[in-house]
Structure 1
Amino acid sequence: MNLSELHHPISTIINNNTQIREEKLLSICHLLNTSISYYNWVGFYFANHEIQTLHLGPYVGAETDHTVIPFGKGICGQVAVSNANFVVPDVSAQDNYIACSITVKSEIVVPIFVDGINIGQIDIDSHTINAFTVEDEQFLEYVCKEISYVY
């Protein structure tokens, strides 16, 4: 699938005035999980800058114990500090990786900015090693920009 084909459905979800923000985020999780075969876990973490933690928001995929992640810990925690995308081709090669499941082989995390502040991120796990391309990264940047409009 060409990821740009999902731009319109993403915008439609964002502009749906009958859903609250959390419902929109969950709808995006469902859309990405069902439309892209190698997006095996799709979720959002949101920052609490006061206590330097990320908190799990809507997600689709296997249950996770990682509902609160300190800034700096794991891939998500590193993105909270760096404010930069993080693509991990092979999670087993990462020293600061929080293992969610033995089935996860690669991960991508892209921050969401509102007024220049990193408010959270989209986190995607794949059961495929080296699953994510530059196209995925650019697409998820688009998704995060769209999401910023509901904040």
Structure 2
Amino acid sequence: MIPYRNRVVVDGDACPVKAEIAETVRSCGATALMVSSHDHRLVPEPGVEVVTVDAHDQATDLYVANALKPSDVLVTGDYGLAALGLARGAAVLTPRGKLITESDIDGLLAQRHFSARQRRGGARTKGPPPFTGEDRSRFQQKLTFLLRGMQENRHS
């Protein structure tokens, strides 16, 4: 088990920025906990603990939600999990580098619900744009900013 410092908890099943997270936590003196199902094998590396859970569709989210501590940074694109992270006191960052706040979450959940209703009714909804290098860079900058800010707050 990695000792607790500043920690990034990752919903690892569909996370496209795992390498950026590993690099950033090492450079900031933090740690990462990457959680994924058996379908998405991850490899532990220095500063990165890996937990593999059952392939059940909510197993990763449940593990992540239960592992979160106040002042963790949660990386997820799942707005339901993001809401749980905010309730637990975590900062929430999407893989595209968007910081989700308490003032954002209700609207994001409402949009998710609306889109799901449309899909169930047979409508096609537009997916996200292709992931870009700019998205990776934005994410890494925001994660670095969050982790360094946490270090400064802890030492003041």
Larger Rg: 2
Q: By percentage of residues, which structure has more helix?
A: 2
TM-score above 0.5: no
Q: By percentage of residues, which structure has more strand?
A: 1
**TM-score, normalising length: structure 1:** 0.31
**TM-score, normalising length: structure 2:** 0.30
